[in-house]
A and B are shown apart, each in its own frame.
Chain A
């Protein structure tokens, strides 16, 4: 009798112990999963009874699954990673918790982050739906060996005119293309010239601005590169693109700072030491990529989910662990003060590139998301290909794009 009582008590205790151990589901995409895997052990030091379960899907599948789950309210994770391309759309929807409100009161943490990230995750009506975890300051990659062969000084490329002139010289002397796709020059110009607190394509009143002078200039720059035969006409994220980086058939590339990690880890590891970075021409600064964590409203563990998000995004140690794992630039300002930021980057020939990127990140103007950003981006990209591939007039293409975007805004 006594024995069975003790047994019963033990069982009860064990049951309680099990009950205390909660599971948090976190949906992420690669390579953010490598970053969070490095952060979870640190989180478990603070919250030993929380088991973090990762649901990892490829970038597009992840966001599709998230959209479907939000649509039905079923199968949602407790914490969802959101990439920059989707955060605006999810912000305009109703599926995520507004972190400005109690019990989150995220307002107190906003000053800790690279300022422009806050606007990206804020909806038009002021709801703040996700905390920034990493950012992508736009930067200018170039192949130092090709430039040397062509006797081009990188400082000559600090204006767009100088950039194109350098491209002609590079093409003539080395045969290498200036850039993989002229369209990238148009995009970085469009992003970098967006006025503060606006979407790239819409003004503060929400009117379409794609026929304004900054778009005309961006398109014309791309067209002059294409018509001079300076680009390889290779689309990003294709086998040919990786091949061009490996073989050194393109001399420069505009991208987020994160491209260095991709080049180093899998795209072109053998080009180690041949790349350098500098600021974009003409004092331009742009955001190119970034990731966030949000809490779906259907989550059953919101309090713990918030603890995890707070840890992942505002804990300096966690942010540095993530940075070391995948090289994605931390959004947390204090993490950017880590000594590892002044370490030379071997892949970039020992350049102190992270200091340059940190400087760029602090100068990027905050962008506002608009729910029609994706549609506008698609229509504009089609207009750009008409200009570049089919020789359509720039102003006519932009006027047509404006009309197409406006009729989508219903």
Chain B
């Protein structure tokens, strides 16, 4: 009786099952293996992006609760584009992008060249030291600079006061302690922090590009009697163009989205110099979470996106042709 209830499974059906399973595996396993990325990207990448696009046409106070938004058409965009505070933040961002971006490259390129040419076995150590600020938390850096920038006992003002006693340099430096937390001065402070933090990263990028330049070029130039400067000017710089394109693109994107450094230096917006130093992303954050205007904040994000797109395109016009090797 019992045997009849539990018969041995018939061989053909067992084979089809195994075959089906193996078929299934063969067909779908690759998709399953790549799915974690796509699931994470859909949830944390694509969905928020599309939702913010949708939100930029709505008016929503988030503390009202999910779904309580109202369609307002282009109102958020017209409001932002005519908002003096937005344009001031945009000006701050462009100013910071330029004055904290250009010096990074002007320092990093020669620095990388010198490191490559002069430093033999200490190269790795020196690069690591220059790279250190880049991997340090921006918030920690900004907090420390907050103390360094103190008007009366801050290290930066003390150094300036010391340099002021030197003969020629003193003519260019102010006699009184600089208040770094004014609308007119805060941008210099933020730029200083950003330059300090990201020059090492660019140095590393340029160094890796310089190392990829064939030694023979330099040797040939040396044989022809080219000086170190001439080697730098006529071999290194032209061959660095692709890397310049890449590094400047990263700087543009990074600087247009500058957030932590101004946010911490301006005490999250509580500082009286907020208007003089806040960037577009900081203004966007505060529009969303302090003033609870999610729709307007979303429109700021998209306007900023278009701005970054335009700037990257301009950069592409400048460096891109040679970077793609169409020179």
CA distance A231 to B304 in the complex (A): 39
Which residues of A, 289-323, contact B by the 8 Å Cβ criterion? Answer: 297
Which residues of B, 120-145, contact A by the 8 Å Cβ criterion? Answer: none
Is A6 on the interface with B (CB-CB < 8 A)? Answer: no
Partner of B275, one of A183, A243, A382, A388: A382
Partner of A235, one of B183, B272, B275, B276: B272
- Are B289 and A67 touching (Cβ within 8 A)? yes
Chain B contacts for A384, CB-based, 8 A: 272
Q: Is chain A's binding surface mostly helix, strand, loop or mixed?
A: helix
Most chain A CB within 10 A, of B65, B183, B268, is at B65
Chain B contacts for A382, CB-based, 8 A: 272, 274-275
Chain A contacts for B179, CB-based, 8 A: 233
Residues 261-272 of chain B, each 1 if its beta carbon lies under 8 Å from chain A, else 0: 000000111111
- Are B65 and A95 touching (Cβ within 8 A)? yes
Is A389 on the interface with B (CB-CB < 8 A)? Answer: yes
- Are A390 and B275 touching (Cβ within 8 A)? no
CA distance A408 to B293 in the complex (A): 10
Is A209 on the interface with B (CB-CB < 8 A)? Answer: no
Is A351 on the interface with B (CB-CB < 8 A)? Answer: no
- Are A243 and B183 touching (Cβ within 8 A)? no
Chain B contacts for A70, CB-based, 8 A: 62-65
Partner of B64, one of A60, A95, A386, A389: A95
- Are B150 and A239 touching (Cβ within 8 A)? yes
Assuming the A-B contacts A67-B289, A183-B272, are A94 and B65 also in contact, with contact meaning beta carbons closer than 8 angstroms in the complex? yes
- Are A374 and B66 touching (Cβ within 8 A)? no
Assuming the A-B contacts A71-B63, A239-B147, are A94 and B184 also in contact, with contact meaning beta carbons closer than 8 angstroms in the complex? no
Chain A contacts for B66, CB-based, 8 A: 71-73
Residue of A nearest to B179 (CB): A233
How far apart are A87's CB and chain B's nearest CB, in angstroms? 11
Chain B contacts for A243, CB-based, 8 A: 150, 153
CA distance A235 to B83 in the complex (A): 27
Residue of B nearest to A59 (CB): B268
- Are A385 and B267 touching (Cβ within 8 A)? no
Chain A contacts for B289, CB-based, 8 A: 64, 67
- Are B292 and A67 touching (Cβ within 8 A)? yes
How far apart are A244's CB and chain B's nearest CB, in angstroms? 9
Chain B contacts for A66, CB-based, 8 A: 63
CA distance A410 to B286 in the complex (A): 17
- Are B63 and A374 touching (Cβ within 8 A)? no
Residue of B nearest to A96 (CB): B63
Is B257 on the interface with A (CB-CB < 8 A)? Answer: no
- Are B153 and A386 touching (Cβ within 8 A)? no
Is B146 on the interface with A (CB-CB < 8 A)? Answer: yes
Residue of B nearest to A181 (CB): B272
Most chain B CB within 10 A, of A70, A232, A384, is at A70
Partner of A389, one of B59, B79, B146, B184: B184
Residue of A nearest to B82 (CB): A407
Is A93 on the interface with B (CB-CB < 8 A)? Answer: yes
Assuming the A-B contacts A71-B66, A235-B267, are A93 and B85 also in contact, with contact meaning beta carbons closer than 8 angstroms in the complex? no
- Are B85 and A240 touching (Cβ within 8 A)? no
Chain A contacts for B82, CB-based, 8 A: 407
Is A375 on the interface with B (CB-CB < 8 A)? Answer: yes
CA distance A93 to B152 in the complex (A): 44
Is B68 on the interface with A (CB-CB < 8 A)? Answer: yes
CA distance A60 to B268 in the complex (A): 9
- Apart from A71-B62, A73-B65, what 16 extra A-B contacts exist at CB < 8 Å? A68-B62, A73-B66, A89-B63, A93-B61, A237-B267, A238-B267, A240-B151, A243-B153, A297-B65, A374-B290, A375-B291, A378-B269, A378-B290, A382-B275, A385-B276, A408-B291
**26 A-B contacts, Cβ less than 8 Å apart?**
A67-B62, A67-B63, A70-B64, A71-B294, A73-B65, A93-B292, A94-B65, A235-B181, A235-B270, A235-B272, A238-B146, A239-B147, A240-B150, A240-B152, A243-B150, A378-B290, A379-B85, A381-B272, A382-B274, A385-B182, A385-B273, A385-B276, A389-B182, A390-B183, A407-B83, A410-B79
